[in-house]
């Protein structure tokens, strides 16, 4: 059932929700949280579809906030709120309100959302696109116990990870982190099966995929070893190779569905490692509303402390401004043959000093003793 409201108010929207529930014969409210989706008109359909699928596991009231841009300066001074109320089969297992904000009211979206939140229920805010630099400091983000962003949707994902690290507050998370949950579980289980020490790690994947960076930072943060970042054709993450005292451990996925796990002294085995839909990632994030300390620790490790191959943009900047402009985390390939091999990473010249890392005070990866196993994700 759908109810369209034009030039309405939060009070009228609440009345429409009650009317809709009575009309379909389900006046009782059995939802466990309020999910606030901040998106634009272009991405609203995909975001709402993912939320409806996730609601089968987490029945919720979904509030979709779309800020519309007025065409003329006169219209920008006029405030208007249009709403589309969906209940029953049109709203998954919960209920949905699509809010379209025009004019000055779009700058005060929190005042529209606040009266529509479920009482005594947690609030999760998800930016499907155009997440703010500081999610916890955003007026809408301040309403939520959990704030979900997606670095993959950003124009510069690696820069987005730096911004997330600088502004991190307990409750922040990212769908790029949820994408590597199966990889972290598989690698932790693999290290539990053999008695060895990890010496170094190489992580390969698409150049602009933030999940590759997050997995590399997680491994470097947990194992305290040097992690090289390699670039491959994808899709997504393609390979993790751990050099150990007992031999290499390799988890390789070339097709985005099935992976091959190779352990020293054991036959290779095929494991399911399918790339998941947005609805599955969102459902995973809604399962826990407490701060994710593992994500925070990996994020704060920093992408600049990884070793790898510079991107095409960085190579262009280097040729224009000179080698001194190259970031610390990478160095340029020594030959054209090396740059033509996408899955092979070059060593990074990380600064090593007795005092450790100058910014964080932590020992550099080269100064840390190797450990036997990774912490469970």
**Looking at residue 277, what is its pLDDT?**
93
Cα–Cα dist 366/241, whole Å: 18
Task: State whether the Cα torsion 153-210-337-333 is positive or negative.
Answer: positive
| β-bridge mates for residue 231, sequence order | 205
Cross-strand bridge partners of residue 201: 227, 242
Q: What is the pLDDT along the chain (377 residues), one digit of tens a residue?
A: 889 999 999 999 999 998 888 888 776 667 889 999 999 999 999 999 999 999 888 889 999 999 987 666 666 668 889 999 998 777 777 899 999 999 888 889 999 999 999 988 999 999 999 999 999 999 999 999 999 999 998 888 889 999 999 999 999 999 999 999 999 999 999 998 888 899 999 999 998 899 999 999 999 999 999 999 999 887 889 999 999 998 999 999 988 889 999 999 899 999 999 999 999 999 999 998 899 999 999 999 988 888 754 444 433 443 343 433 333 333 333 333 333 333 333 333 333 333 344 344 444 444 444 444 444 33
Rounded Cα distance between 126 and 171, Å, is 12
CB atoms within 10 A of CB 241: 19
Burial 302-325 (b: 16+ CB within 10 A, else e): bbebbbbbbeeebbeebeeeeeee
> SS3 for the chain, per residue?
CEEEECCCCHHHHHHHHHHHHHHCCCCCCCCCEEEEEEECCCCHHHHHHHHHHHCCCCCEEEEEEEECCCCCHHHHCCCEEEEEEEEHHHHCCCEEEEEEEEHHHHHHHHHHHHHHCCCCCCEEEEECCCCCCCHHHCCCHHHCCEEEECHHHCCCHHHHHHHHHHHCCCCEEEHHHHCCHHHHHHHHHHHHCCCCCEEEEEEEECCCCHHHHHHHHHHHHHHCCEEEEEECCCCCEEEEEEEECCCCEEEEECCCCEEEEECCCCCCEEEECCCCCHHHHHHHHHCCCCCCHHHHHHHHHCHHHCEECCCHHHHHHHHHHCHHHCCCCECCCCCHHHHCCCCCCCCCCCCCCCCCCCCCCCCCHHHCCCCCCCCCC
Q: Is the peptide bond before 235 cis (omega within 30 degrees of 0)?
A: yes
| Pairwise CA distance, residues 36 & 147, whole Å | 10
pLDDT at 73: 67
Diameter of the chain measured on Cα atoms: 73
> Contact 85/3 with Cβ under 8 angstroms?
yes
Q: How many whole angstroms separate alpha carbon 2 and alpha carbon 83?
A: 10
Q: Which pair of tokens denotes residue 228?
A: 């090289």
């Amino acid at each position: 059932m759908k109810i369209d409201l034009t030039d309405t108010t939060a009070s009228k929207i609440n009345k429409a929700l009650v009317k809709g529930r009575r009309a379909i014969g389900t006046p009782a409210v059995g939802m466990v949280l309020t999910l606030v989706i901040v998106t634009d008109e272009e991405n609203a359909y995909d975001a709402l579809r993912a939320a409806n699928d996730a609601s089968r596991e987490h029945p919720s009231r979904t509030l979709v906030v779309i800020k519309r841009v007025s065409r003329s300066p006169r219209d920008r001074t006029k405030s208007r709120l249009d709403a589309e109320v969906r209940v029953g089969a049109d709203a998954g297992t919960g209920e949905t309100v699509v809010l379209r904000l025009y004019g000055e009211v779009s700058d005060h979206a929190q005042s529209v959302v606040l009266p529509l939140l479920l009482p005594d229920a947690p609030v999760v805010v998800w930016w499907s696109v155009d997440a703010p630099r500081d999610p916890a400091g955003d007026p809408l983000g301040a309403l939520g116990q959990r704030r979900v962003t997606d670095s993959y949707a950003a124009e510069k994902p690696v820069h987005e990870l730096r911004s997330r690290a600088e502004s991190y507050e307990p409750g922040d998370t990212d769908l790029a982190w949820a994408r590597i949950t199966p990889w972290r579980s598989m690698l932790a289980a693999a290290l539990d099966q053999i008695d060895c020490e990890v010496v170094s790690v190489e992580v390969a994947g698409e150049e602009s995929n933030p999940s590759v960076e997050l997995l590399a930072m997680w491994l470097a943060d947990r194992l305290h070893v040097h992690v090289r970042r390699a670039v491959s054709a994808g899709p997504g993450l393609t390979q993790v190779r751990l050099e150990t005292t007992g031999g290499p451990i390799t988890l390789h996925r070339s097709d985005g569905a099935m992976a091959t796990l190779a352990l020293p002294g054991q036959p290779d085995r095929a494991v399911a490692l399918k790339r998941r839909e947005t609805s599955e990632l969102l459902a995973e994030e809604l399962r826990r509303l407490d701060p994710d300390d593992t994500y925070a620790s990996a994020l704060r490790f920093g992408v600049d402390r990884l070793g790898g191959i510079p991107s095409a943009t960085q190579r262009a900047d280097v040729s224009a401004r000179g080698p001194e402009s190259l970031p610390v985390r990478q160095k340029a390939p020594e030959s054209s043959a090396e740059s033509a091999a996408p899955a092979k990473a070059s060593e990074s010249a990380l600064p090593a000093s007795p005092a450790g890392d100058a910014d964080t005070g932590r020992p550099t990866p080269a100064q840390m003793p190797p450990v036997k196993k990774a912490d469970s994700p």
